[in-house]
């Protein structure tokens, strides 16, 4: 079901499968509209189903990735690209390894960089040189983080090095053998980098995200809930499953 609430276009789907199909269709339509556009990708559990649908569409020749340029939101730091938990590895495993993308046009912050400050600066410059991001895909953390912009006193603007919140480390430990193995820091696009994207797609799944989904759309705009800044963006589409939308449903 499609709803419009202020700047948000909100799709509420019955389950994870239909959420993934809807999100993939929106991305595919954008790729068709901008075959050589600049696309921002996210990692994490949420977009895996969406990426599976995109792989199927690419196999069926329904979408062509060959001209697009991509920038991923974030990467653990430090981490080797060969580490199966790196976001570089994740993107190959879940999307880039299975579609006709030009690997020279893929950008992911370099978790192996010697100098993290210059890697951040360089990443931001590469985005600017490409002309900015046309379409940014986002997930959301339980604490409202987007990318790895954790709750803070102020919004962090451009690509930067960040210490991860304990809650994020715990949430992400499901992908690792133990909590101790989760990297404690990362490189992430900043809030301004994300907000400068021309269009944003936020995907939210599961009952545990119902509170933060509600806060994002209806709460005060505060760096304590980084995703709340999306209320200030002119073109945000949110795709949720029914469980994640539970709390917001009465108000839209």
Residues in contact with ligand F6R by the rule CB under 6 A: 42-46, 73-74, 139-141, 145-148
Give residue number: closest CB to ligand F6R. Answer: 139
Which residue, among 197, 217, 67, has the nearest Cα to 137 in the 3D structure? 197
| Catalytic entry in 145, 172, 205, 215 | 145
> Cβ closer to ligand F6R: 75 or 134?
75
| Catalytic entry in 13, 74, 124, 215 | 74
> Cβ closer to ligand F6R: 73 or 182?
73
Smallest distance from ligand F6R to CB 43, Å: 4
Smallest distance from ligand F6R to CB 183, Å: 13
Reply yes or no on whether 143 is catalytic: yes
Reply yes or no on whether 145 is catalytic: yes
Smallest distance from ligand F6R to CB 169, Å: 11
The phi, psi pair for 181, rounded to 5°, reads -85, -10
Reply yes or no on whether 234 is catalytic: no
> Cβ closer to ligand F6R: 67 or 176?
176
> Cβ closer to ligand F6R: 46 or 228?
46
Smallest distance from ligand F6R to CB 61, Å: 28
Pairing mode, strands 8-13 and 199-204: unpaired
Angle at CA of residue 203, ends 200 and 206, nearest 5°? 160
| Catalytic entry in 88, 119, 124, 150 | 150
| Catalytic entry in 7, 83, 122, 143 | 143
Q: How far apart are CA 159 and CA 73, in angstroms?
A: 9
Smallest distance from ligand F6R to CB 208, Å: 9
In angstroms and rounded to an integer, the radius of gyration of the C-alpha atoms of the chain is 17
Reply yes or no on whether 149 is catalytic: no
The phi, psi pair for 64, rounded to 5°, reads -120, 120
> Cβ closer to ligand F6R: 74 or 215?
74
Annotated active-site positions, please? 74, 143, 145, 150
């Amino acid at each position: 079901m499609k709803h419009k609430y202020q700047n948000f276009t909100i799709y509420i789907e019955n389950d994870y499968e239909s959420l993934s199909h809807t999100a993939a269709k929106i991305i595919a339509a954008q790729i068709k509209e901008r075959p050589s556009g600049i696309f921002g990708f996210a990692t994490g559990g949420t977009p895996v189903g969406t990426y599976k649908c995109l792989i199927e569409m690419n196999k069926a020749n329904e979408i062509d990735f060959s001209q697009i340029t991509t920038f991923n939101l974030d990467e653990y730091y430090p981490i080797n690209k060969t580490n199966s938990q790196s976001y570089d590895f994740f993107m190959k495993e879940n999307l880039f390894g299975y579609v006709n993308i030009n690997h020279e046009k893929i950008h992911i912050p370099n978790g192996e960089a010697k100098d993290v400050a210059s890697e951040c600066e360089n990443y931001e410059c590469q985005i600017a040189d490409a002309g900015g991001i046309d379409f940014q895909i986002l997930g959301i953390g339980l604490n409202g983080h987007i990318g790895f912009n954790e709750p803070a006193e102020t919004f962090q603007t451009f690509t930067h090095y960040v210490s991860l919140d304990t809650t994020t480390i715990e949430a992400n430990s499901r992908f690792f053998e133990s909590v101790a193995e989760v990297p404690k820091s990362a490189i992430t696009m900043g809030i301004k980098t994300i907000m400068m994207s021309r269009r944003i797609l936020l995907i939210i799944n599961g009952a545990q995200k119902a509170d933060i989904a509600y806060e994002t759309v209806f709460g005060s705009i505060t760096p304590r809930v980084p995703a709340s800044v999306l209320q200030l963006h002119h073109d945000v589409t949110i795709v949720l499953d029914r469980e994640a939308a539970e709390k917001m449903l009465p108000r839209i």
